Structure 1
């Protein structure tokens, strides 16, 4: 049986913002169709990074919403609750930004310094997942 979880106001607000942010993934999809149809000239590196950025954005938003819901079932509080509930959602912004921004620029063949966002997003993803996992095991 699935227990109903009552969402806190903070979780409801965060979920609403994440759902609205998901609309931006559609604009990324539109841009990506222009890339793969040759309407926007890119290098193979840029095409790969744009695809990866778009894929990570969509998947991580959905995964982040699931983590936000699961956080409500934990006894975590304060910073740890925030990290468990939003770590994946922060990654859903930072990781795609790292892919997209580091690939921008005419004829780019290697990532720029913006790649740091990808690594910061990965740290947020890992920290959020570990915190949520521990929180769920300690219920």
Structure 2
């Protein structure tokens, strides 16, 4: 049986609760694309594609982040490297969707605003997390 450290257990519990937020994002997308269960939400093509990408990244990265959190428990990493290996992907699960959603906000927006800077930042954090975890697993 896998023994989780207290920080990993608490983090996993909190992250699992965020799935409800991702679900509500899915409901929002249904309103954008189909107008189901209420009035259709007006959105430009940019907004539709960015909202879809933000929702998809949130869901996938939360699942990958939980796996990384568990795998980090199997490494001998300590300190900042342990934190990065265990939670880097989860941080990217915040940064990347935020970049997609926030940069597309605003009525009639057809080009991203300055919040688009969160996308490359999130990509770097994602890469740093998975590389650190991969090396930590290989070297442990």
TM-score, normalised with respect to structure 1: 0.95
Distance in structure 2 (CA, Å) of the matches to 1:5 and 1:75:
15
Alpha-carbon contact 1:7-1:72 (below 8 Å) kept: yes
Query: What residue is the counterpart of 1:83 in the other structure?
Result: 84
**Residues 37-57 of structure 1: CA deviation (Å, up to 9, x unaligned):** 250111111100000000000
Shift of 1:7: 0.5
1:60-71, aligned counterparts within 5 Å? 60-71=61-72
Distance in structure 2 (CA, Å) of the matches to 1:24 and 1:91:
16
1:1-139, aligned counterparts within 5 Å? 4-38=1-35, 39-139=40-140
Shift of 1:5: 2.4
What residue ranges of structure 1 are gaps of 5+ in the alignment?
Answer: none
Shift of 1:32: 0.5
Alpha-carbon contact 1:5-1:73 (below 8 Å) kept: no
Aligned Cα root-mean-square deviation (Å): 0.8
Count of residue correspondences: 136
Alpha-carbon contact 1:91-1:121 (below 8 Å) kept: yes
The structure 1 segments of at least 4 consecutive aligned residues displaced by more than 3 Å after TM superposition are: none
Distance in structure 2 (CA, Å) of the matches to 1:113 and 1:57:
20
Distance in structure 2 (CA, Å) of the matches to 1:137 and 1:130:
11
What residue ranges of structure 2 are gaps of 5+ in the alignment?
Answer: none
Shift of 1:22: 1.6
